Amino acid sequence: MSETPSKTAPTGPSVIQSYIRVLGNSPGVYRMLDARSRVLYIGKARALKKRVSSYAKLTGHAPRITRMIQETASMMFLTTRTETEALLLEQNLIKQLKPHYNVLLRDDKSFPNILVSTEHSFPQIKKHRGAKKEKGAYFGPFASTGSVNRTLNQLQKVFLLRNCSDATFASRVRPCLLYQIKRCSAPCVGYISRADYAASVKDAMRFLRGDSTRIQKTLAADMSAASEAMEFERAAALRDRIRALTNVQSAQGINPHGVAEADVIALHMEGGQACVQVFFIRAHQNWGNRDFYPRVAEAEAPEVLEAFIGQFYDTKEPPGQLILSHEIENADLMAKALTGKRGRKVEILVPQRGEKAELVAGAARNARESLARKLAETATQARLLTALAEAFDLGAAPKRIEVYDNSHIQGANAVGGMIVAGPDGFVKSQYRKFNIKSPGITPGDDFGMMKEVLTRRFQRLLKEDPDRKTESWPDLLFIDGGAGHVSAVAGILRNLGVRDVPFIGVAKGIDRDAGKEEFHRPGARPFALKHNDPVLYFVQRLRDEAHCFAIGTHRRKRAKAVGATPLDDIPGVGGIRKRALLGHFGSAKAVARAGLSDLKAVDGISNAMAETIHAFFHERG
C-alpha cells in the first residue's frame, strides 16, 4: 500500500502550478523532486513565485528542462534574505545532493600550497594542503603536487632553506645530505647565522610574490663582489643560485606581465561532455593548470561555467580576477558573492583582445585537447565495461564497480581498502579505507576482516540510501580471493538482506602468476579468461589498483603508529604544541623527564598546560 501513491502520484506542470499561489516573491532556492522523492533539480531565484511560474507550462524550454518538468511530483523551497545568499545556498545544495539535471563538479579536491612556517626561529619551507591553521605565509594554490615539488626543489637550490621537521632540526648534530648537495644552508648546526637565514627567507618570500628581478640583481652584485675579492668558491655558489633562479622562472611557463593574480578558466563542450581548464596565475607566474570534467546534463555553456565557478570556489578562496572564456548568466551576482567570500574585490572578465585574451585562448586549447583525449578514453572504457558484462554474464555494463582488498603485517595495523571504477575510469574521490576495529579478529584472519569491511560498507549504504536513489550502490563487486571468500561474501550479503549485487572472486591461479587468474561466482564452477583477453587485463588493473591502495593505506597507518609518542595522549596537546615540545627538548623521553620550570619555558606552552604535561608524566600509576 505504501508504494501506491508514488506510482499514481501526478507529475508535470499541474503539480508545479499548485505551488504558485502560496509562493511569495522573495529570493530563495527551490528543489524539484520526482515521485520517489529523489531530487531532480535545484535552482535559485530572485523572486521564487516568478521563477517557479516559468515551469508551469511545457512549452519554450530546452528538452532537458521539459523532461525535468514532466518528472516533477513535488517541490521544496527555502527563502533567503538576498539573491546572493540564494546563489551560495544553491551551489552548496547541488554539491551535497547531486541532482540529476544540474551541472555537477565531480572532482573538488583542495589544492596544495607552499608554506613558509613562522613558528620557528629558522623557518621551514614545505608543501601544505588543507586548512590554513599553521602560522606562516602561504603561497598558492598550485595546480598539482608535482608543481609544488618542482618549485620547492628549485627554491631549495636558490635560497637554501630547510624542509626538515622541527624535531629533526633539533636533533641534528651534523649537517644532513641536503647540505652536501647544496640544497640547504644547515642552520641546524649553526653553519648560517639567524640574520642571514632570515634574509634568505625574506628573499624566497619576495620571489613567491613575484619580485624576482631585485633578487637577481642582488645575487649578481654579491657574485661580482665575491669575485673581485677573490672569494671564488662563494662566487661559484652564487652563480649556481642565479642559474637555479633562472630555471625556476623558465619552468613557470607562460608568465604574464599584465596579470598579477587570476584564475584563467576556459570551457570546451563536445559530444555531450565538457572540460573546464583552470590556470592559476599568482605573482605574475603560471603555477600550473588542472582540468575538470563536470556532469553537464545537456546544459548550455553559460550555465555550465556559472555552476562550475559557484561549486569550485565553495571551499576555495577566489583570486582578484577570474578570466573566463564565456560570459556567464549572473556575472554581477557571482562577482558580488565571491567578493563577500574573499573580503576584497573580485572581478569577472571575458577578454576579447590583448594578453588576457591570449591566456584564455591557451586555456581553451588545453580544454579542447584534454576533452578529445577524455572522449577517446571514455569510448575505450565503455567497450571494456560492455565486454566485462558479457564475460561475466551481467545484465548490463556496470556503472559502478567496487573492488576490495585488505592489508596487514601479521594482523598489525590491519586496514581494508575499497576502490571504485566506472565509465570514467577510476573514481578516486570515492575510494574508502576501513581501519579494522573488531577485537575478535585474530591476526591474519582475512575472512574476518572482509566481513567487517563489507558489513560496514553495506550497513551504511542501507542506512543512507535504502531506496537506491543515488549512484552510490555498486553494480558489481570484485573480491580478492577464491571459492572460500566468495562463499563468505555470499553469507555476509545474505545476512544484510542484499541479494541483487553480483560479486566475483579473483584468485591468483596456478603458481600465483598474473594471467592465470581464476574467477569464482556463487553456484558456478571457476573459470579463466584467455591470456590476451582485454577484460583480463582490465580486471588485473582493477585488482592491482585496489592492492596498491590497501598497501598504501596500511603503510601510512603503520608509519603514523611508529611516529606516535606519549605526547599524543596528553589532553590539550595537539600538533602545534607537540612540535613545540619536540623542537625544544628533542624527544618525547626528554619531555617526560623535564621539570615544571623547563616546561613553562617552552614557547606556546602556558603555565596551566605545563602543569598538565608535568602531571601526566609524574602522577600516573
Q: Is the pLDDT score of 212 beyond 70?
A: no
pLDDT tens for 568-595 read 778 788 778 887 888 788 777 888 888 8
**Is residue 476 within 8 Å of residue 402, measured between CB atoms?**
yes
Report residue 421's pLDDT band, with 50, 70 and 90 as the boundaries: very high
Question: What is the average pLDDT value for the chain, to the nearest integer?
Answer: 85
Question: Average pLDDT, stretch 398-427?
Answer: 83
Higher-pLDDT residue of 134, 476:
476
Q: Calculate Rg over the CA atoms of the chain.
A: 29
Residues 6+ apart with CB under 8 A from 140: 111, 112, 113, 114, 148, 280, 282, 287
Report residue 2's pLDDT band, with 50, 70 and 90 as the boundaries: very low
pLDDT tens for 369-404 read 999 888 888 888 999 999 999 999 998 999 999 999
The pLDDT value given to residue 284: 81
The pLDDT value given to residue 75: 94
The pLDDT value given to residue 181: 87
**Per-residue b/e over 2-21, b at no fewer than 16 CB within 10 Å?**
eeeeeeeeebbeebbeebee
Residues 6+ apart with CB under 8 A from 371: 268, 269, 270, 273, 274, 275, 293
pLDDT tens for 514-539 read 567 889 998 888 888 888 889 999 99
pLDDT tens for 106-149 read 776 778 889 988 888 899 888 888 878 888 889 888 888 887 88
pLDDT tens for 253-282 read 456 778 889 999 999 999 888 999 999 988
Tell me the three state secondary structure of residue 290.
strand
The pLDDT value given to residue 47: 93
Ramachandran angles phi, psi of 285, nearest 5°: -125, 145
pLDDT tens for 196-209 read 899 888 888 888 87
Domains (range + CATH), the chain: 4-97 (3.40.1440.10), 113-251 (no CATH), 261-373 (3.30.420.10), 401-561 (3.30.420.340), 566-618 (1.10.150.20)
